[in-house]
Amino acid sequence: MKENVTRKLIRSHLISGNMEPDEEIAIKIDQTLTQDATGTLVMLELEAMGLDRAQTEASAQYVDHNIIQSDSKNPDDHLFLQSATRRFGMYYSQAGNGVSHPVHMQRIAVPGKTLLGSDSHTCANGCMGMLAIGAGGIDVAMAIAGEPIYLKMPKVWGIELKGSLPDWVSAKDVILEMLRRYDVKGGTGYILEYFGEGLESLDAMDRHVIANMGAELGATTSVFPSDDEVKRFLATQHREDDWVELKADSGAEYDRHDTIELDKIEPLIAKPSSPGNVVPVREVADDPIYQSYIGSSANPGYRDFAVAAEIVKGSKTASGVSFDINPASRQILTDLINEGHLTSLIASGGRIHQAGCNGCIGMGQAPATGRNSLRTTPRNFPGRSGTKEDSVFLCSPETAAASALRGKITDPRTLDQPYPEIKEPATPTVDVQLLEEPLPIEEARKVELYKSKNITEIPDMDEMPDHMELPILLRMNDNISTDEILAGGSRVLPFRSNIAEISKFTFENVDEEYYDRARATLNAGGHAVAAGHNYGQGSSREHAALAPRFLGLRAVIAKSFARIHWQNLINFGILPLTLKDPDALDFINRDDAIHLENIREAIQSGDTLTAQIKSSGESISLLHGLSGRQIDIMLKGGLINWIKSRKGTE
Amino acid sequence: MKENVTRKLIRSHLISGNMEPDEEIAIKIDQTLTQDATGTLVMLELEAMGLDRAQTEASAQYVDHNIIQSDSKNPDDHLFLQSATRRFGMYYSQAGNGVSHPVHMQRIAVPGKTLLGSDSHTCANGCMGMLAIGAGGIDVAMAIAGEPIYLKMPKVWGIELKGSLPDWVSAKDVILEMLRRYDVKGGTGYILEYFGEGLESLDAMDRHVIANMGAELGATTSVFPSDDEVKRFLATQHREDDWVELKADSGAEYDRHDTIELDKIEPLIAKPSSPGNVVPVREVADDPIYQSYIGSSANPGYRDFAVAAEIVKGSKTASGVSFDINPASRQILTDLINEGHLTSLIASGGRIHQAGCNGCIGMGQAPATGRNSLRTTPRNFPGRSGTKEDSVFLCSPETAAASALRGKITDPRTLDQPYPEIKEPATPTVDVQLLEEPLPIEEARKVELYKSKNITEIPDMDEMPDHMELPILLRMNDNISTDEILAGGSRVLPFRSNIAEISKFTFENVDEEYYDRARATLNAGGHAVAAGHNYGQGSSREHAALAPRFLGLRAVIAKSFARIHWQNLINFGILPLTLKDPDALDFINRDDAIHLENIREAIQSGDTLTAQIKSSGESISLLHGLSGRQIDIMLKGGLINWIKSRKGTE
């Protein structure tokens, strides 16, 4: 068989399983990436496992989310992360160094390798010819400890790129075109592999943009070949030696095919409040805007800032517009200064923020209530900006900059200026001052973990009971994101190392009384929630499973699940149950209850569970879809219990 | 009489009163300054007064405090401020434009004029030959409406500067030397006037540094002459026409004299947790540091950043140090970029933040618990950084930069490099893109105030009762700051327009139960608190009076008061009572009570009130020190009631 890049990557890392769609496979992990919002739990998990040293080729901990530091919680947690990375022999990227994905790409990513990251946009490094997958923190902890990652063998979706992009259209519009075609769950169960002559006009950072927002399609990851462009990129980082070629065999096969004619793409924009809500910019042109936001892992490249700078150069942003510039990394910030672009941005009215995730994860720059915010970020789920009644649009830097000038949503093609030609600096900056290398093992062993009072133990969890009567506390629609299950942002994430505290925010935007109502079920065997399709899309944060579990959530009934959150539910002993007949959701009402009998035997003997609805007495069929290993984890009450029990028998 | 600059400024603006120390005088106000933390109440007060248009020569509203925007509260409040400034004919400095004091100095300050500002560091513009005074918001609202400011005629303290500063010593060390000599209440009742040949070596921004931290001495303000250096500075801002000369008469007299020999000053540092806790840097050298922080209104000049940049240029900060760079304004940021200094700061390890007050007011960059933070900011009151158990030192940019390199507190004279010579850019940047000019009156009248749900009415307040029995809920020591009465920071200040909400944070760092205990007194006639000297030092925020008043605070008994907070207490109908015998504080215990009889008559008939202590039955003598006008305000229950009653009789 003529193999595609994806299958080559999987085959070269396959530990167990058959590479047949939907079969569980185990893959060796070469590199890991953790960020600070998810990393503190990972480090506690590594400590609980008794890890001596990371078993990967490279593991990097980034501090890019919680960098506002309103009180001692964030800086204390940073010190904890620093001590843990020193202890376990990992890289440590200090606050201010930049967003994990572009920094990893610049400094650590290696073609042909696998990368597992506790951040849903880990897939961005698929641009480097890597198999880069987002996962829950505890899966990444297992990988750091040398365990493989288990997943269902995805299908491979080959997307052929033809031609080249017209003026005023850039990589962001390519992935928005995919979202326009297939919406937020269109990629579920697939790895997207891009190929074709259209790649020639997309540089490595353009590919990063496209790979990054594969997460918004629900794809397992996105993969690009490692070609001469990747070699060129590594050379700019003084890492040419890390390059290996990795290309699909000529005539390679894919499970599904698609074609994008780059020449035919026009400027696109995702309207509030879903990345899949994509229309041409011209359809919403002239709506007044409050904010134009440049930055994030979805547009992190030098050119993304430079093109905005060239567009506004010599002009002024419209009166009152907040033109927020968020450098993706120190390296890129330095290049933007050296090439004069930062001055252009400031002179036009730009407001320069520190390098990091910032407003993309609700850390500052929240827009005013109901006012339109145009952002180059990857997500616009309701409230993710920090503002409850927000109105966030996702677009390219070209569209954001043009709109900042006019004060209203603007198709950049309507600007009266030539399309700026952006050239990379001749010698891009390489700056590792805030990136600590792993300590030698003897030094590492002397390091003690630093724990402030904000760092608490992970709560104990009981085994799966044999029968449960669970009140349905919430009945939700399609596409509920982890931002709605447990928000990010500067109000919530500082408690990421304290489950009792962070659990107070669970589902607060769905139902303000959930916390109290959930706690009331704790001594009565817990509760369930019900939802539509694509439940748990978005962030990989395992708190969105651990916190409701702490409050008594034992089962989620849904039409379908997003991949990472599904895995997180299993890892924390919450049954993810798919409705055999999706329409049966109509029979499940809030404040009704379901009854499950002989659960332990039932999940071991087949895929189907039968639940009885208390009010009507009717039965509904539910599928668990767990592998043998996952059944074992679920019966034990979650992965931590499973690891402990395995240790006990070693 | 040969007059000093201070008396010339007062005389030229005197509306009523005699210029004799301690007599109440009224002064015409030419300019006002409000920032966003205090400004929303000011705008509500202006609306309540029915103001049509600001009656000053220039009134400017700055957004520099609450610029993190974690949710909709801050951006919604910014829109409110913008709409109000448009309505009332004021300047509006948008978030990201910079810190009020340096921006005001650059763009609006005029020698010979008076400036009243609802920020305690308003005094910084004394560097421009202005009488620049910090006050509570409602006093500033009155000034915007054309009313004079009333204050007790201060004494004038002439401080003669001789010689010039040695290498590695800069303006910050001059004001630290004053704090070393006189501590945080050493300037109470005085205006500090600097003169002498030593001025020649201090440029306008150096004088800003010295004038700014006069607030920390408790001085009413600080004054510098308007000389050729001020002319030069205005010329760099393209405002040479605004210059007038204003110098003391030759042989002018002062109420008190002092001399600073600049050549003899060495690098100084204020240890935790008071700006008056000053020692030579060498005495605390080698203590490890967590953070080095450059910026704030206390070191806002181009040279303050440039000197730090030159010190670290080509070197790296010590591993793990957070080297936080906070540009004071967009203009200065642009100059730092153009001259290559920002690149030096970043390359050494610097973390660049947006232009604004930021960590100085607890908006981000909080240090880790108990770790040493060196800051060029003006204040290190306990917890002001956002971290409850903080350890903040105040120092010059030279000391901060040297310490960042070494990773420990470092006397910059011990660096092995020549002292950098800093030259201002040939043509400094002038950038008014984020500074809106006042609207013409006809346009202004069409503007409607924009109020989000975070903007609530100012609560009603009742008149002063004739007798009160007040439990003493708190018994505090000397130098309690407004940060301890009602904290700043990103957790608290977003509620600045909502008194019911912000009151929940009152005294939380003194007594976590104060809020509940205070509310319990609300229906029983309220309560009192007792404290030592210099009660209410620090910020001008009137919330520190309004919030406890809302919770039933009717009287504060103290050995002495800080000026602005004393005025704020009166403005909100809280009796500020000074102990005739300071030692009598020993007789007042927490949870005891005091009894006051015939209050209304007593405060009108003399300065002394007699309070009976409930437990012992003993009497203590208390002085109110109110002027006739203030007695009237107090009897009405505060300034808002007084204005309303005055309107009723107009």
- Answer yes or no: is A519 within a domain: yes
Distance from CA of B590 to the nearest CA of A (A): 30
Q: Do A71 and B351 touch (CB under 8 A)?
A: no
Preferred mutation among B66, B72, B78 to probe A, highest tally of A CBs within 10 A: B72
CA nearest to B337 within chain A: A337
Q: Do B490 and A342 touch (CB under 8 A)?
A: no
Q: Of B383, B414, B445, which one is at a domain's C-terminal end? A: B414
A9-22 residue pLDDT tens: 999 999 999 999 99
Mean pLDDT of all residues in B334-344: 97
For residues B159 and B210, membership in a common domain is answered with yes
CA angle A374–A380–A381, rounded 5-degree value: 155
Q: Do B343 and A334 touch (CB under 8 A)?
A: yes
Domain that holds residue B37: 5-264
B535-565 residue pLDDT tens: 999 988 999 999 999 999 999 999 999 999 9
B180-194 residue pLDDT tens: 999 999 999 999 999
A160-206 residue pLDDT tens: 999 999 999 999 999 999 999 999 999 999 999 999 999 999 999 99
For residues A30 and A89, membership in a common domain is answered with yes
Q: Of B210, B237, B264, which one is at a domain's C-terminal end? A: B264
For residues B11 and B142, membership in a common domain is answered with yes
Which residues are B293's β-sheet partners?
B324, B375
Distance from CA of A492 to the nearest CA of B (A): 10
CATH code for position B474: 3.20.19.10
Q: Of A398, A414, A430, which one is at a domain's C-terminal end? A: A414
For residues A167 and A134, membership in a common domain is answered with yes
- Answer yes or no: is A432 within a domain: no
Which of A530, A533, A529 is CA-nearest to residue A479? Answer: A533
For residues B232 and B258, membership in a common domain is answered with yes
Show the tokens assigned to B289: 């540091």
Distance from CA of A31 to the nearest CA of B (A): 24
Mean pLDDT of all residues in B9-27: 96
Rg, C-alpha atoms of chain B: 24
Please state the domain count of chain A.
Answer: 3
In whole numbers, what is the pLDDT of chain A averaged over residues?
A: 96
All residues of chain A having their beta carbon less than 8 Å from the beta carbon of residue B491 are 70-71
Helix ranges restricted to H, A390-440? 397-406
Preferred mutation among A80, A369, A375, A388 to probe B, highest tally of B CBs within 10 A: A369
pLDDT at B477 over 50: yes
For residues A512 and A630, membership in a common domain is answered with yes
Is the Cβ–Cβ distance between B562 and B536 less than 8 Å? yes
How buried is residue A1: exposed, middle or buried, by Cβ count under 10 Å (0-12/13-18/19+)? exposed
pLDDT at B649 over 70: no
Distance from CA of B334 to the nearest CA of A (A): 6
Pairing outcome for strands B322-326 and B350-352: parallel
pLDDT band per the 50, 70, 90 thresholds, residue A489 = confident
- Answer yes or no: is A460 within a domain: no
Mean pLDDT of all residues in A425-439: 96
A233-254 residue pLDDT tens: 999 999 999 999 999 999 999 9
Side chain identity at residue A141, one-letter code: A
Preferred mutation among B69, B332, B337 to probe A, highest tally of A CBs within 10 A: B69
For residues A202 and A179, membership in a common domain is answered with yes
- Answer yes or no: is A322 within a domain: yes
Q: Do A333 and B352 touch (CB under 8 A)?
A: yes
Distance of CA B131 to the CA centre of its chain: 15
Q: Do A68 and B490 touch (CB under 8 A)?
A: yes
- Answer yes or no: is A437 within a domain: no
In this structure, of A219-233, A511-525, B393-407, B451-465, the range with the lowest mean pLDDT score is B451-465
For residues B42 and B188, membership in a common domain is answered with yes
All residues of chain A having their beta carbon less than 8 Å from the beta carbon of residue B405 are none
Pairing outcome for strands B114-117 and A31-35: unpaired
Q: Do B70 and A363 touch (CB under 8 A)?
A: yes
In whole numbers, what is the pLDDT of chain B averaged over residues?
A: 96
CA nearest to A82 within chain B: B320
The contacts of residue B647 (CB under 8 Å, 6+ apart) are none
All residues of chain B having their beta carbon less than 8 Å from the beta carbon of residue A331 are none
H/E stretch holding B151? strand B149-152
Q: Do B70 and A491 touch (CB under 8 A)?
A: yes
CA nearest to A489 within chain B: B70
For residues A159 and A282, membership in a common domain is answered with no
Which pLDDT belongs to residue A648? 63
For residues A256 and A282, membership in a common domain is answered with no
pLDDT at B91 over 50: yes
CATH code for position A323: 3.30.499.10
**Cα(B528)–Cα(B525) distance, integer angstroms:** 10
Mean pLDDT of all residues in A64-79: 96
All residues of chain A having their beta carbon less than 8 Å from the beta carbon of residue B371 are 75, 79
B416-434 residue pLDDT tens: 999 999 999 999 999 999 9
- Answer yes or no: is B54 within a domain: yes
For residues B161 and B81, membership in a common domain is answered with yes
Show the tokens assigned to A224: 């690009």
B586-633 residue pLDDT tens: 999 998 999 999 999 999 999 999 999 999 999 999 999 999 999 999
Least CB-CB distance to A368: which of B72, B316, B363?
Answer: B72
Preferred mutation among A78, A336, A434 to probe B, highest tally of B CBs within 10 A: A434
- Answer yes or no: is A489 within a domain: yes
B347-389 residue pLDDT tens: 999 999 999 999 999 999 999 999 999 999 999 999 999 999 9
Least CB-CB distance to B349: which of A342, A351, A434?
Answer: A434
pLDDT at B650 over 50: no
Least CB-CB distance to A386: which of B69, B346, B388?
Answer: B69
All residues of chain B having their beta carbon less than 8 Å from the beta carbon of residue A320 are 82, 94
The contacts of residue B648 (CB under 8 Å, 6+ apart) are none
Chain A to chain B Cβ contacts (< 8 Å): 171
For residues A206 and A289, membership in a common domain is answered with no
All residues of chain A having their beta carbon less than 8 Å from the beta carbon of residue B390 are 72
Pairing outcome for strands A322-326 and A291-295: parallel
pLDDT at A133 over 90: yes
Q: Do A353 and B355 touch (CB under 8 A)?
A: no
Side chain identity at residue A579, one-letter code: L
